[in-house]
Structure formats: C-alpha cells, structure tokens
Amino acid sequence: MSVAEEHESRSEERESLWNLVVPPATWAAHFLASYITAAIWCAKVVGRAGSLSSARTAIFVYTAVALIVLVVLGARGYRRHATGAPPHGARRHHDEDTAESRHRFLGLATFLLSALGVVAVTYAAIAALVVGTCR
C-alpha cells in the first residue's frame, strides 16, 4: 500500500455518517420541543384560551439554536463538497469509486439535508408566529 493510499484510507476512516443524521435529527428535536412546549404551556399553565406569548419565546430560542446548528452543518457539508473543485465550467461527478468522490457526495448530501432542515425549522417556527392562543 502506498503512502497516498494509506493516508486516503485513514482519512476515510475518520469520516462519519453522523453528518447525514444530525440535520434531520435537529429538525425533529426542534419540532418535538416546540410542540411539546406549546402543549404543556396550554394544558398546564394558561389553559385553553390562554396566550402563547411566553411559549413563543421558548420556541424562538429553540428555532435560533436549531438554525445555528443547521447552518454550521450545511457550511461544513458545502466545504466538503467543494474540496477539489474542478476547473471553471466543469461539472462535479460523484459516480466514481474513489474516496474523494464519496467525500464530496457526503458533503453534498449533508448540505442538502441541512438546507431542507432550515426550511422545515422555519415552517415550524412560523406556526408559533401565526397562532396566538391555545385554541
């Protein structure tokens, strides 16, 4: 095994598929935290006709944290995808069986899942803006 192949195999061993799991998990955690907070707030604290004002604050904090996590992961994924960029105008292909191709594909997938997570978190937060009471 050459030095380059050994380095490539070691760097590939350090790669993690958690980068693909964290963006959807972040959205799911945000969704659950938001709706559980609203449900407990309405059921136990203010009653059915109460206002969501304080629960909104918590939901917006959850939203800010989730968006920060998703943007950081998306940026990392984009950087992984953009490494070894082809000459201007050439397309990136991920159909080769090389470590670099897999590395770039995982970066692209992470970036796209993060972008989808940003949209999902934003839509969940919009519900907190639109709904003013527990009804």
% of the chain surpassing 70 pLDDT = 79
Range among 18-22, 71-75, 96-100 with highest mean pLDDT value: 71-75
Cα atoms found within 13 Å of the Cα of residue 51, Cβ hemisphere only = 3
| CB 59 within 8 Å of CB 38 | yes
Looking at the predicted structure, is the pLDDT value of residue 14 above 80? no
Average pLDDT over residues 72-88: 80
Q: Which residue has the higher pLDDT, 17 or 43?
A: 43
Report residue 19's pLDDT band, with 50, 70 and 90 as the boundaries.
Answer: confident
Looking at the predicted structure, is the pLDDT value of residue 47 above 90? no
% of the chain surpassing 90 pLDDT = 47
Per-residue model confidence (pLDDT) at position 73: 95
Of 30, 64, 56, 48, residue with least CA distance to 130: 56
Report residue 49's pLDDT band, with 50, 70 and 90 as the boundaries.
Answer: confident
26 to 63, 73, 92: CA distances (angstroms): 10, 10, 28
Going from N- to C-terminal start, the domains of the chain cover 47-85+92-135
pTM over 0.85? The answer is no
Per-residue model confidence (pLDDT) at position 10: 46
